[in-house]
Chain A
Amino acid sequence: GENVEQHPSTLSVQEGDSAVIKCTYSDSASNYFPWYKQELGKRPQLIIDIRSNVGEKKDQRIAVTLNKTAKHFSLHITETQPEDSAVYFCAAQTGANNLFFGTGTRLTVIP
């Protein structure tokens, strides 16, 4: 099955700086890559996703890039704010509708 690795496991940045979280996947058939944000004590929620026919997608301060050849994708958050503090999960899907999640990155934005 698919194997998704996520780095780093923890990340601390100063407010206003950028944060980058990286994921790699093993199955070249994976074609959908969502990112979920989980705030403390809350449920995971989708923040952005990308499909394999697109190299980059942006939504305000967040962007995701995908390199299919290298089998890695990244989440970029610019101008970080304290409310960006959360655990972020990347995931990959191979078309059968079930997601394989990374192990999560705990992002702390220091005011």
Chain B
Amino acid sequence: DVKVTQSSRYLVKRTGEKVFLECVQDMDHENMFWYRQDPGLGLRLIYFSYDVKMKEKGDIPEGYSVSREKKERFSLILESASTNQTSMYLCASNGGKFSYNEQFFGPGTRLTVL
């Protein structure tokens, strides 16, 4: 059974803080993704990664960065959190480059920036 875990289910931070969201998958997947989910906007891709130390911008990368030092771990970083980054953050992973494989999602982190 594929397992994707995220470090926190709920997180409350102050404006200007540096925020780290961690995602770990246990299926040796090559690809990992970070989305944010907002009501009425669906899931929007922030960043994704095909391999260790590799990253690609998604649709809304502004204000975010990522790190993938190990294959199983993909971190999302908010360098200076702002209130408009209050959202649900979902991590996902799948295997195979340029493949049509199911993405497996983590449980999500609901981030509130005050």
Contacts and interface: CB of A to CB of B under 8 A. Distances in A.
Contacts of A102: 42
Interface residues on B, range: 20 to 34
Contacts of A32: 100
Contacts of A9: 40
A98 interface: yes
A104 B42 CA distance: 6
A45 B41 CA distance: 18
B68 to A, nearest CB: 15
Contact of B42 (A43, A97, A98, A103): A103
B40 A103 contact: yes
Interface in B40-74: 40-45, 48, 50, 56, 58-59
Interface string A72-111: 0000000000000000010001011111111110000000
A93 to B, nearest CB: 7
Contacts of B106: 43
| Among B43, B98, B105, B106: residue with most chain A CB under 10 A | B43
A43 B108 contact: yes
Interface residues of A, number: 25
| Among A46, A49, A98: residue with most chain B CB under 10 A | A98
Interface in A9-59: 9, 31-32, 34, 42-46, 49, 51
User: Interface majority SS on B: helix, strand, loop or mixed?
Assistant: loop
B32 to A, nearest CB: 11
B18 interface: no
| Among B94, B100, B107: residue with most chain A CB under 10 A | B100
A89 B41 CA distance: 11
A46 B100 contact: no
A43 B107 contact: yes
Interface of B: 31, 33, 35, 40-45, 48, 50, 56, 58-59, 90, 94, 96-100, 102-103, 105-108
13 contacts: A1-B59, A6-B42, A9-B40, A43-B106, A44-B43, A46-B103, A49-B102, A97-B50, A97-B97, A97-B98, A99-B45, A100-B59, A103-B40
